[in-house]
Amino acid sequence: MNRLLIPLLGSLSLLGLAALGLLVFAFTPSDEYMGFSQKIMYIHVPSMWVAYLAFFIVFFCSIGYLWKRSDGFDRVAKCSAEIGVLFCGLGLLTGAIWGRPTWGTYWVWDARLTTTLILLLIMPFLWSIPIALATAELTSMLPVDGGYYRWARKAFGGRRFSVGSRATNPSRIAKRSPSSSER
């Protein structure tokens, strides 16, 4: 039953989106002041609502995971993060397209836009941290009592971190790590 239902619902969703796009761009009248660019708001506003809703779900499910240690919370948070990034990117893109004819510029560095951009940039890194740690086999060295500075020094061979230091140069770190033949 589910093998047929999921593709059917996906196909119906795509057809519905195509039909709504046709209705919005072909049959709705243009705004008196903004003209055709106002029609982008039919995509922009719902995209941002879905993005913010998805990020709130990530927040609450992450708290639920920390509280109950249930993998269900973790899975929902990861899925919501991906949905949030998709719709946040779509919302920022459509907002920039709308902003050009309306404000005369694609981007204005106000607080709301900038924090939304930061949220969009941070979220993929947050869901990739466990994958990166597992890939680098550093999960056993996670900080318990010394903080992340101590963990990072241990992970990179006890080297001191400083700006422009040759000790933190990735090529030197790669030379120090054992090759696959030595393992």
Q: Tens digits of per-residue pLDDT, 86-104?
A: 999 999 999 999 998 888 8
pLDDT of residue 33: 83
Residue 168 sits in the same domain as residue 83: no
pLDDT at res. 37: 81
- Burial of 23 by CB count in 10 Å (0-12 exposed, 13-18 middle, 19+ buried)? exposed
CA 63 to CA 77: how far, in whole Å?
Answer: 10
The single-letter code of the amino acid at 1 is M
Q: How far apart are CA 15 and CA 30, in angstroms?
A: 24
Cα–Cα nearest to 48, from 121, 117, 123, 136: 117
The closest alpha carbon to 123, from 87, 172, 175, belongs to 87
| 66 and 93 housed in the same domain | yes
Each residue's pLDDT tens digit, 161-182: 444 444 444 444 444 445 444 4
Same structural domain, 33 and 106: yes
Kindly provide the residue ranges of all beta strands, DSSP E only, lying in 29-171, ordered along the sequence: none
What is the pLDDT, as a whole number, of residue 3? 80
9 within some domain? no
Number of domains the chain is built from: 2
155 vs 78, which has greater pLDDT? 78
Mean pLDDT across 71-76: 89
- Ranking 103-107, 110-114, 122-126 by mean pLDDT, the lowest is 122-126
Range of the domain at 160: 138-173
For residue 17, the SS3 value is: helix
Q: Which of 81, 104, 107 is nearest to 96 (CA)?
A: 107
Q: Are residues 83 and 42 in the same domain?
A: yes
Query: In sequence order, what are the residues at sequence separation of 6 or more whose Cβ sits closer than 8 angstroms to the Cβ of residue 147?
Result: none
Model confidence at 84: pLDDT above 90: yes
Q: Does residue 19 sit within a domain?
A: no
More confident: 38 or 157: 38
pLDDT band at 142 (very low <50, low <70, confident <90, very high): low
Query: Three-state DSSP class for 32?
Result: coil
Q: Given this model, what pLDDT does residue 85 score?
A: 93
pLDDT surpassing 50 at residue 135: yes
What are the tokens at 9?
């619902």
Q: In terms of domains, do 146 and 70 share one?
A: no
Once rounded to an integer, what is the mean pLDDT over residues 48-66? Answer: 93
pLDDT in tens, 12-23: 988 988 898 888
Average pLDDT rounded to a whole number, residues 122-135: 72
